[in-house]
Chain A
């Protein structure tokens, strides 16, 4: 759409700008304030420069939690995106099946995150949980509170359970926007199922898939509540992802300086990845 230049449009944006700035800029400045100074309470601050940043960048604890975070995010993107597309492709296109699928599949998205954690905790308990009990009955030695591998398995399974539906819903939206004429043309040409997928469906889903990947990246990178309730970051520090580690540092140990520096580095990483995605997305949109 060709837009007209109109500077008065700023008046429409002001309420949003004020509300978000109120919430974003003031707290962010507080974080910046802590990141460069040392405080002993009572509003007494001492300038520390980049000391906290150096400390965090060199700390093994940060490297470890950052590594865990990237590993987790890659694993869940690797599972959820293909799985979501596959489910969207097999979903019914008309009839009573559509609302039934949509409603049932949206269910996990609307459960408060700590309830998700609590639910999976109950579900996976080795003695009284369905998952834990079944796995042990099948001869696996499963205990997610004590074994690192099991803790990771449960956390990933929980996230797949929780968020794959978002990818499904978005992919389904993309598929629905394809006109039947494309499929008819493909049929006349005798295209294989695979060809239809790669040549018609995938290009048409590109836009929604970018949104899906972007949302899943952001949210999995910020994950806090679910693993906190499920494993508490344990056993040991095995599932202490960035946010969990950060909250532990800021509110648990009250190391405000390092925690603030870590916050900024953390935010910067998310921002960088999202900026790359966003630029690619906008470029695609301009092309099409």
Chain B
């Protein structure tokens, strides 16, 4: 029984890794090999696909654009959500429950519904094709999520902590930054992880709101696939590279995830 327990997660992880391996495999092949033969690993190992991405401006700026707006969005989302989540976890106020549900409904809005109005709206305020536009539009679903997660973490911190601090003569903001935030770093870590994740993987809005200057890498990929024929190797290499930022983020927050999960909320 003890040994058999390893079987299920192992099979699952193998299932998860297979398509990723196949993508990596393709990215190291030459175009002729991809088209002409079926091989389980590259016969003529080549780095040309990666070289092209790192030397061609249209490719590597895509990465920088994506990272730029994702980081911007994560910072905005968490900064705005912190005081709001504190209010929801500590106080009752007029319309609090309705407001909370209204926030959540925005997490439920299908981006496809908003794509066209977003385009018109951001064009009319002259933000079209800027990083700010994408970062702000991703707030639509990331802020509700951030408030939701942070509220859970803050509710698990006993209220006595606040009261003791006030008795000790702390002002609200000093208490908030010096005592409260350090006690919920795990929660903030998880929240940042989720904001990063949902902003990084989203494409529909990011693609609709950009043309050239702020175009995300994922959009560069789709456009390549449709314009310059089907360059599978190049596409695979670009795809493989998009996995890296996510993997780095997971590696850094892995301890927070374990700790945060122990608290019982995402």
The interface of chain A, by Cβ under 8 A from chain B, is 1, 3-10, 12-13, 15-17, 19-20, 22-24, 26-28, 30-31, 86-87, 90-92, 97-99, 101-115, 118-120, 122-123, 127-131, 133, 161, 164-165, 168-170, 172-174, 176-177, 207-208, 211, 218, 221-222, 224-225, 229, 242-244, 246-247, 250-251, 256, 259, 263, 266-267, 270-271, 274-275, 278
* Minimal Cβ-Cβ distance residue in B for A33: B117
Q: How distant is the Cα of A119 from the Cα of B249 in the complex, in angstroms? A: 21
- Asked whether, in the complex, the Cβ of B250 is within 8 Å of the Cβ of A110, the reply is yes
Chain A residues, Cβ within 8 Å of B261: 169, 172-173, 176-177
- Do B104 and A274 touch across chains, with their CB atoms under 8 A apart? yes
Q: A243 and B110: CB pair below 8 A?
A: yes
Chain A neighbourhood of B245, CB < 8 A: 110
Dominant secondary structure of chain B at its interface with chain A: helix
Whether the Cβ atoms of A16 and B147 lie closer than 8 Å is: yes
List residues of chain B with CB under 8 Å of any chain A CB.
5-9, 12-13, 15-20, 22-23, 26, 34-35, 38, 40, 76, 79-81, 83-84, 86-94, 96, 99, 101, 103-118, 120-121, 136-137, 139-140, 143-144, 147, 155, 159, 197, 200-204, 217-218, 221-222, 225, 232, 235-236, 239, 242-243, 245-247, 249-251, 254-255, 257-258, 260-266
What's the nearest-Cβ distance from chain A to residue B10, in Å?
10
Q: Which residues does chain A contribute within 8 Å of B108, judged by CB atoms?
A: 218, 222, 267, 270-271, 274
Describe A's contact surface by its main secondary structure: helix
List the count of A-B residue pairs having beta carbons below 8 Å apart.
283
Residues of B within 8 Å of A99, CB to CB, are 254-255, 258
Query: Quick one: which of A16, A164, A207 contacts B81, CB cutoff 8 A?
Result: A16
Cα-based distance from A128 to B15 in the complex (angstroms): 18
B94 with A7: CB separation less than 8 A: yes
Question: Which of these, B7, B105, B204, contacts A271 with CB under 8 Å?
Answer: B105
Rounded to whole angstroms, the CA-CA distance of A102 and B110 in the bound complex is: 29
Residues of B close to A207: CB separation below 8 A = 264
6 chain-A/chain-B pairs, Cβ below 8 angstroms:
A9-B93, A13-B93, A20-B139, A30-B117, A90-B7, A244-B112
Complex CA–CA separation, A224 to B110 (angstroms): 9
Known: A23-B140, A24-B109. 14 other contacts (CB 8 A): A1-B89, A6-B90, A13-B88, A15-B79, A20-B139, A28-B117, A92-B6, A112-B202, A112-B242, A114-B221, A114-B222, A165-B16, A173-B260, A271-B108
In contact, A101 and B105 (Cβ under 8 angstroms): no
User: Are the C-beta atoms of B113 and A4 separated by less than 8 Å?
Assistant: no
* Complex interface: chain B residues within 8 A of A267 (CB): 108-110, 113
- List A contacts of B113 (CB < 8 A): 31, 246, 263, 266-267
Task: Give Cα distance in the complex from A267 to B108, angstroms.
Answer: 8
Are A177 and B264 in contact, with the CB atoms below 8 A?
yes
Query: Are A119 and B109 closer than 8 Å at their CB atoms?
Result: no
Instruction: Tell me how far the C-beta of A88 lies from the nearest C-beta in chain B, rounded to whole angstroms.
Output: 9
B86 touches A12 (CB 8 A): yes
A276 to chain B, nearest CB (A): 12
A123 touches B109 (CB 8 A): no
Which of these, B18, B112, B144, B236, contacts A243 with CB under 8 Å?
Answer: B112
- Cα–Cα distance between A178 and B17 once the two chains are bound (Å): 30
A102 to B263, CA, bound (A): 16
- Alpha-carbon gap, A224 to B249, bound state (A): 25
The residue that A101 contacts in the complex, of B9, B38, B247, with Cβ under 8 A, is: B9
* A242:B94 contact, CB within 8 angstroms: no
Q: Is the pair B8, A86 in contact by a Cβ cutoff of 8 Å? A: yes
A80 to B225, alpha carbons, bound, how many Å?
31
Residues of chain A with a CB closer than 8 A to B222's CB: 114, 229
- Do the beta carbons of A119 and B116 come within 8 Å of each other? no
Residue of B90, B99, B121 touching A4 (CB-CB under 8 A)? B90
Q: How far is the CB of A12 from chain B (nearest CB, A)?
A: 4
Check B143–A118 contact: CB distance below 8 A. no
Q: Report the minimum CB–CB distance from A18 to chain B (whole Å).
A: 9
Alpha-carbon distance A119/B201, docked complex (angstroms): 14
Instruction: Please tell me if the beta carbons of A211 and B92 are within 8 angstroms of each other in the complex.
Output: no
How many Å lie between the Cα of A161 and that of B15 in the bound state? 8
Chain A neighbourhood of B107, CB < 8 A:
218
User: In the docked arrangement, what's the CA distance between A250 and B200, Å?
Assistant: 25
Residues in B neighbouring A28, C-beta threshold 8 A: 114, 117
Closest to B99 in A: A13
CB-based nearest A residue for B18? A130
- Residues of chain A within 8 A (CB-CB) of B247 are 103, 107, 110
- Whether B140 and A122, one on each chain, are in contact in the complex, defined by CB atoms closer than 8 angstroms, is no
Q: Which residues of B contact A24 (CB under 8 A)?
A: 106, 109, 140
Residue of B nearest to A178 (CB): B264
Known: A114-B222, A118-B221. A12 touches B105 (CB 8 A): no
Contact A20 B140 (CB under 8 A): yes
How many Å from the CB of B95 to the closest CB on chain A? 9
A221 to chain B: closest residue by CB: B110
Q: Which residues on A sit within 8 Å (CB–CB) of B40?
A: 130
